[in-house]
Chains A and B, each alone.
Chain A
Amino acid sequence: MTNVKSRISKTIRTAGLAAGLIGLFTGSGLVVATSASAADGATIVGTETDAAGRTIILRQGTYDGATGFGWSKIQKRHAIFSKNSIGYVLKNPDGGVAEGEDRRYTAYANEITCPEGADCTVTDSREVRVINKAAAYPEYYGVALGGQEVGIITAYCINPDGALACPSWVDLAIGVKKPASARISEGTPASITTSWSYEPMAIGQEVP
């Protein structure tokens, strides 16, 4: 058990350091402090710089239960509640992949299980995507943007069954809640923690 705790502790320390370095949306001076219910859809609720130096904005957006864009949709449709999760994906060193007027950013949330007395292995992994639309639209999904850039339109997990929502542990893996993500207690035969990466990790892969 001591070894398991030690490994998890190391992971948590590393995670905390990374979260501090990233800064992300919540650390941006441009964040607008406004409640979701009061926010206009065009309101910019976060700003981040990607690895290539591009400024990426996140608007409150809108969501009608099926379609929409921005922070409203990301939370309600895809169950990503930490802006740090989005910020981490945007920091992919590849700078994102241009896809017409959109740019696609990718990272991976990984669930890692450490059985007592055995090596830690990856037991689940999800590709997390953020799509940014750098194009200017006067109106987008009924939200008047005044010809300004749309910004992040969506963020989601690629789930093996095509489900809409990211598993709750994804925010723990990438987001600000990371230091609380390790689940361990005396008497349990295995501990589960989470990590992130910009390269996919295979299920069953050993983690040092």
Chain B
Amino acid sequence: MTAQAEAFVESIRTKFRKNPGLVPQKTWVAGRALADGSAVILYQVSYSTQVIGRRWMLEELAQRFSPSDARSLASAVFANEVGEPDGPTASLAVNWADGLVDDPSAVGWVVNRWTGANG
């Protein structure tokens, strides 16, 4: 599943470059696949200095889609989640952004089922 997460992150990064019109106010910063099979991406928004983070558990995400390969999952969520207004974010004591930015603790994580910010 880590390979799936890596391919997912790469696909999202590519979409930031090829389809910037779908992610208004947002600029790619970094991304990574974690050993637990999750995918993490970070981006900057034009209205704040805070780096924003999103995390998906690929195995669980895949259960909600068909097809469920990494590229299809990235296509499914890019405009519909990444490109949208983010809504609430939370500061979390996690290591997901370690090595990706100078201050990982300052990342604001978008609230969803996989950041644990809303349970």
Footprint of B on A, CB under 8 Å?
64-67, 69, 77-78, 97, 99-102, 104, 127, 129, 131, 133, 135, 137-142, 153-154, 156-164
Q: A residues within 8 A CB of B77?
A: 67
Q: B residues within 8 A CB of A100?
A: 15, 18-19, 22, 75
- Which one, A65, A137, A156, A163, contacts B67 given CB within 8 A? A137
The answer to whether A162 and B86 have CB atoms under 8 Å apart is yes
The answer to whether B83 and A131 have CB atoms under 8 Å apart is yes
5 contacts between A and B (CB under 8 A): A104-B22, A137-B67, A158-B85, A162-B48, A162-B85
Chain B: residues with Cβ within 8 Å of the partner, total of 30
Against A, the Cβ 8 Å flags (1 = close, 0 = not) of B13-52 are 0010011011011000000000000000000010110000
- Which one, B19, B48, B67, B111, contacts A99 given CB within 8 A? B19
Q: A residues within 8 A CB of B112?
A: 66-67
Task: Give Cα distance in the complex from A116 to B81, angstroms.
Answer: 44
Given contacts A66-B113, A139-B65, A158-B85, contact A153 B80 (CB under 8 A): yes
Contacts beyond the supplied A100-B18, A137-B76: 18 A-B pairs with Cβ under 8 Å: A64-B113, A65-B118, A66-B111, A66-B118, A67-B77, A67-B80, A77-B84, A99-B21, A99-B79, A100-B22, A100-B75, A139-B65, A141-B76, A154-B84, A156-B85, A157-B85, A162-B47, A163-B85
